A = this chain, B = another copy of it.
Amino acid sequence: LADGPTLGELGEHPFLRALCARIRARAERVPRTRHTAQLLVPPGDDCAVLAPSAGKLAVTIDALVEDVHFRRAWLDAAEIGRRAVAVSLSDLAAMGAVPAWTLVGVMVPPELPASFLDELLDGCATASEQAGALMIGGNLTAAGALTVTVTAAGAVEDRVLCRGGAAVGDALVVTGTLGGAAAAVAAWSAGTAPSAELRARFTAPAPRIAAGVALARAGARAAIDVSDGLLADLGHLCAASGVGARIERARLPRLTEVAALDAAGSDFAASGGEDYELLLACPQALVARLDELANESGVALTVIGRCVAPADGIVLCDESGAPHDVRASGFDHFAGRA
């Protein structure tokens, strides 16, 4: 940890005044989309006030809690902030929304140096701005464990991508690669350091904003972000849509390292969560356009299976076509991995 004065030594209010000044300065030079929030009253008052926005408003709240979602030994301060914002922006991506603003609530152990909090909040602001959103304010309080709660809001211009729109016969498509974040956590948990490539999958997930927007516009019927694990989140999508699913294990997109681990008996791609990729259900007519949409979105789009009749359930197939047995299937915060 960096040295330096704590918040108790600096004083909460002087720290907050400096922070608000920095947020106001950032707000003037952030690259904007046409949905980026326009601040009428900047942070430092009782509320931030925004100009009226166009379109429907998608909103979400999510939190990262130390020793539940991450350990401080795994991530530096800026990475904690960036990851916390990315997790909430990923929910916007899964609706096909364009980010507009974020609000960040931080609970911080009093013994942490103020510089740590500065870096964390810079990470939050940077991740917001990279997605075209403005960090418009927040809240700060003392607590035993470091936690970062992010409310994110965005505009839906076209169709809203809900979980419940998938139809039997739809292609199931995922963005990017799966299992890397879980493989990094497994390495840390085993006391070893993950490779830089795996580490980045956990520390710097990229919310798939462009893919969500492009696929919503192109006619995708349903989406969810993969936070609990592919099979768990597929289960949520299928339950909401009233369909089953048949996934081909060999088609799951993986980094080379994850492919090797899964070949050796793990199931990171199928059941590891926290990659924050999107899982989408698309009419088969859209499959021919996926390369073009992948180019437009800047991320790989891979067909991993299809929606089937609900009575057929959710099946993960081996290359032989036989059902593959997966033990773990998603994260329950209150029970550990099921």
Contacts and interface: CB of A to CB of B under 8 A. Distances in A.
A29 interface: no
A41 B334 contact: no
A154 B58 CA distance: 15
Interface in A59-94: 59-63, 65, 68-69, 91-92, 94
Given A47-B94, A61-B103, A142-B65, A332 B12 contact: yes
Interface residues of A, number: 71
A51 B225 CA distance: 23
Interface in A153-185: 153-154, 156, 160, 162-164
Given A47-B92, A61-B137, A162 B56 contact: no
A40 B59 CA distance: 12
Contact of A61 (B91, B151, B160, B335): B151
B141 A7 contact: no
Interface of A: 6-8, 11-13, 40-41, 44-63, 65, 68-69, 91-92, 94-95, 97, 101, 103-105, 107, 110, 136-145, 147, 149, 151, 153-154, 156, 160, 162-164, 223-225, 236, 240, 332-335
